């Protein structure tokens, strides 16, 4: 078993949601584990890169909407775009890190449930209370998580995670890192698979 | 034989160069012709979308450089990045349209030679003289082309071509349009191939 594939996600991204479903299947097929790692698009794309959300650009926006549908169909992701505004994933990402430090397998399940909450049921994942309830439903100690979410340690932990993402070159969601190679977007999963199978990019 | 695949290109794009090599192989494999159509990234990306060239963004820039290498390797494109500044393809695109209106098969060869000039030999394709010389080397009437390049008709023809690109939703290079479906980027060629083979996006 070689090193895990890092899966960099932000729950606010519908493409990240599609990727969260796709990567588990791809990794299993190639005998790899997936290491789920959160980051914030609001920091990488908006703040560091100085871009708008990509779907707000003329021409690119409509194309991305269509691409989202096609990719969801191909990767069997039951995506249902929501009409919510001002979603942010800060509490969800912090809670993920807290759970992961205690029970890694449960953390992945938590993240999958957060994705499903937003992207299949159209429910807001922003409020701390919603995040804690989602964790508690998995048997996590809600009171202890709430207390942690109010403290500074988790803030620092998420900041470190975002910095590590950028140190690996990650900017968008989903991103996959395998053996030092970075792949951005579900449209690159075929290249990731090629890399996992062959360790190079020569066409066979 | 079904309708041709529209291949929207701008000679200034290295990804467009890779795509120009990839698309001919893909189309042949699926029994399709390729209709080469020029547009200007300077209009779509810079002016209409208000973006910088994508490779100038932090984080995304280095990733795109690596991706360019990987894609060139996979699609067998002998790409050699040049250090030239201020390249523009306006004369080359106008000349392409003039040749295409007279000898469509020759126009494709001309565009392929323009791509190779810039992306394998690192020679500037901006000057009108360089463009005319490239056309003349294929047997095109250089004097007549020079005269046409000085007139307004070709300016209008290229403007129309760029407008048609945008009407089809095209913004970046390379873009491929098959049966109304738009695919942007060499990373989407696997989806184009899936579409050509099956007419849908269900995974098999």
**Tens digits of residue pLDDT in A85-95:** 999 999 999 99
pLDDT, mean of residues B112-131: 98
- CA A101, CA A98: separation in Å to the nearest integer? 5
pLDDT of residue A9: 98
B201·A74 Cβ contact <8 A: yes
Of B169, B190, B203, the CB nearest to A63: B169
Burial of B160 (0-12, 13-18, 19+ CB in 10 A): exposed
pLDDT of residue A1: 65
SS3 assignment, position B25 = helix
SS3 assignment, position A171 = coil
Q: What is the pLDDT of residues A4-13, one digit of tens each?
A: 999 999 999 9
Q: What is the pLDDT of residues A72-85, one digit of tens each?
A: 999 999 999 999 99
Read off the pLDDT band of A100 (50, 70, 90). very high
pLDDT, mean of residues A23-50: 95
Q: What is the pLDDT of residues B32-46, one digit of tens each?
A: 999 999 999 999 988
Chain A residues with CB inside 8 Å of B66's CB? 182
- When the pLDDT of each residue in chain A is averaged and rounded to a whole number, the result is 96
- When the pLDDT of each residue in chain B is averaged and rounded to a whole number, the result is 96
- What pTM does this model have? 0.95
Q: Are strands B5-9 and B175-178 parallel, antiparallel or unpaired?
A: antiparallel
B59·A194 Cβ contact <8 A: no
Q: Are strands A175-178 and A5-9 parallel, antiparallel or unpaired?
A: antiparallel
A60·B49 Cβ contact <8 A: yes
Q: What share of chain B has pLDDT > 90, as a percent?
A: 93
Q: Poorest-confidence range of A117-126, A139-148, B4-13, B44-53?
A: B44-53
What are phi and psi for residue A83, nearest 5 degrees? -105, 15
The token pair that represents A86 in the structure block: 């001002």
Of A59, A185, A201, the CB nearest to B70: A201
pLDDT of residue A45: 87
Of B60, B74, B200, the CB nearest to A171: B60
* B51 shares contact with chain A (CB less than 8 Å): yes
pLDDT of residue A93: 98
Read off the pLDDT band of A173 (50, 70, 90). very high
Query: Where exactly are the structural domains of chain A?
Result: 5-79+87-198
pLDDT of residue B53: 87
Select the residue from B191, B192, B196 to test the A interface by mutation, using most A Cβ atoms within 10 A: B191
What are phi and psi for residue B133, nearest 5 degrees? -60, -40
Per CATH, which fold does A5-79+87-198 belong to?
Answer: Glutaredoxin (3.40.30)
What Å distances lie between residue B123 and A100, A154, A173, B68, B92, CA to CA? 53, 53, 37, 19, 13
Please give the interface size between A and B, counted as residue pairs whose CB atoms are below 8 Å apart.
83
What is the distance in angstroms between the Cα of B121 and the nearest Cα belonging to chain A? 23
Burial of B29 (0-12, 13-18, 19+ CB in 10 A): exposed
The backbone region for A199, taken as left when phi is positive above 0, alpha when psi lies in -120 to 50, beta otherwise, is left
Chain B residues with CB inside 8 Å of A203's CB? 74-76
- A152 pLDDT more than 70: yes
* B166 shares contact with chain A (CB less than 8 Å): yes
pLDDT of residue B150: 97
CATH superfamily of B5-78+85-198: Glutaredoxin (3.40.30.10)
pLDDT, mean of residues B139-165: 97
- CA A117, CA A115: separation in Å to the nearest integer? 5
Which residue in this structure is represented by tokens 């002016």?
A: B47
Q: What share of chain B has pLDDT > 70, as a percent?
A: 100
- A61 pLDDT more than 90: yes
Read off the pLDDT band of B1 (50, 70, 90). low
């Amino acid at each position: 078993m070689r090193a895990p594939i890092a899966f960099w996600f932000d729950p606010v991204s519908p493409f990240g949601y599609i990727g969260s479903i796709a990567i588990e299947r791809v990794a299993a097929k190639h005998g790899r584990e997936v290491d789920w790692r959160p980051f914030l698009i609001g920091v990488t794309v908006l703040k560091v890169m100085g871009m708008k959300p990509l779907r707000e650009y003329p021409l690119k926006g409509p194309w991305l909407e269509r691409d989202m549908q096609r990719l969801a169909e191909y990767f069997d992701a039951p995506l249902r775009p929501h009409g919510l505004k001002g979603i942010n994933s800060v509490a969800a990402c912090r809670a993920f890190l807290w759970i992961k430090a205690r029970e890694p397998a449960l953390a992945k399940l938590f993240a999958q449930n957060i994705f499903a909450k937003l992207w299949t049921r159209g429910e807001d994942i922003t409020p701390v209370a919603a995040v804690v309830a989602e964790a508690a439903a998995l048997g996590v100690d809600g009171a202890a998580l709430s207390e942690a979410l109010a403290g500074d340690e988790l803030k620092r932990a998420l900041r470190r995670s975002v910095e590590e993402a950028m140190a690996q070159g990650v900017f968008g969601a989903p991103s996959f890192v395998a053996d030092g190679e970075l792949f951005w977007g579900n449209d690159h999963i075929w290249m990731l698979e090629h890399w996992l199978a062959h360790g190079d990019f020569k066409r066979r």
